[in-house]
């Protein structure tokens, strides 16, 4: 029996490739977390700015706590089993009235992980709705295999190489609307994206990208993960430590190692490389 999700939520995820909304914490807890993240941003903008949003969980305890949150880990366990590894995290922040968007894409195309059984929770720290540019997903698209992606390197595209699925029927898209403290979870092959933030409020979310089982393997770059639950080691992966304090020496070194590895993976075969 599932521990966090209901059986109907588990069934829905496997049928449609996503599940939302899922309650993780109260709005008050989400607001307190938001303030901690914003304080870290203000103190170290060079480390958490728009071009440096990856793998902050390795150096900042507020993000590390999210990555190991018992409700999130429990929901992940309901979907992929008790042995869980974490690949990385991304801070997805959209400023008010900004042009940044995420094109239609599948995570499985560029993360260099096989098999494509990994999943990504996305935790909202602020409201995430159509006006603010919430995630949109194409139901059932995870069943269709990998689609052709074009690298656009669009100026306002938040994705590294602007990778875009061109044959999407947008009429099928579903808005994954979340209140602060709720999350969505999507499958590695689910086609998803998001529009610009047209509202007056900053949209803040943390993508836990991604959780996977110990049978997963990296096909590009180094095999770097955190052990979240169950596994005695990372299998064929090298295990990165959790931070003991914000910006401790080992945490900063682990984040630098992971980000350098991600750059190699995410831009593999690309015609150019951007600053993130």
Average pLDDT over residues 228-236: 78
What residues make up the domain containing 71?
7-266
Flag whether 276 is in a domain. Answer: no
| Residues 6+ away with beta carbon under 8 Å from 271 | 151
CATH code, domain with 247 = 2.60.120.620
What confidence tens digit (pLDDT) does each residue in 157-172 have?
Answer: 998 888 999 899 999 9
237-75-58 Cα angle (round to 5): 40
The whole model's pTM is what? 0.96
Q: Tell whether the model's pLDDT for residue 243 goes beyond 70.
A: yes
DSSP strand pairing (238-239 vs 224-229): parallel
Flag whether 80 is in a domain. Answer: yes
Flag whether 192 is in a domain. Answer: yes
What is the count of structural domains for the chain?
A: 1
Flag whether 242 is in a domain. Answer: yes
- CA distances (Å), origin 96, targets 38, 100, 126, 162: 15, 10, 12, 21
Q: Tell whether the model's pLDDT for residue 236 goes beyond 80.
A: no
């Amino acid at each position: 029996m599932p521990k966090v999700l209901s059986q109907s939520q588990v069934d829905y995820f496997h049928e449609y490739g996503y599940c939302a909304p899922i309650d993780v914490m109260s709005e008050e807890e989400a607001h307190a977390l938001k303030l901690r993240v914003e304080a870290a941003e203000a103190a170290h903008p060079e480390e958490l700015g728009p071009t440096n949003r990856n793998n902050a969980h390795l150096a900042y305890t507020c993000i590390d706590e999210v990555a190991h949150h018992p409700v999130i880990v429990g929901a992940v366990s309901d979907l992929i089993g008790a042995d869980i590894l974490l690949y990385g995290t991304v801070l997805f922040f959209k400023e008010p009235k900004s042009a940044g968007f995420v094109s239609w894409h599948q995570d499985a195309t560029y993360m260099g992980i096989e098999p494509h059984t990994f999943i990504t929770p996305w935790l909202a720290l602020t409201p995430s709705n159509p006006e603010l540019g919430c995630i949109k997903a194409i139901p059932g698209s995870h069943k269709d295999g990998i689609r052709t992606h074009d690298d656009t390197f669009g100026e306002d595209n938040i994705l590294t190489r602007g990778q875009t699925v061109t044959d999407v029927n947008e009429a099928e898209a579903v808005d994954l609307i979340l209140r602060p403290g709720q999350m969505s979870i999507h499958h590695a092959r689910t086609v998803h994206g998001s529009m610009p933030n047209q509202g007056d409020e900053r949209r803040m979310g943390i993508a836990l990208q991604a959780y996977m089982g110990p049978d997963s393997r990296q096909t590009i770059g180094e095999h770097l993960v955190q052990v979240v639950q169950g596994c005695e080691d990372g299998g064929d992966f090298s295990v990165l430590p959790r931070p003991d304090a914000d910006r401790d020496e080992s945490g900063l070194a682990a984040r630098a190692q992971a980000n350098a590895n991600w750059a190699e993976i995410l831009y593999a075969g690309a015609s150019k490389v951007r600053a993130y």
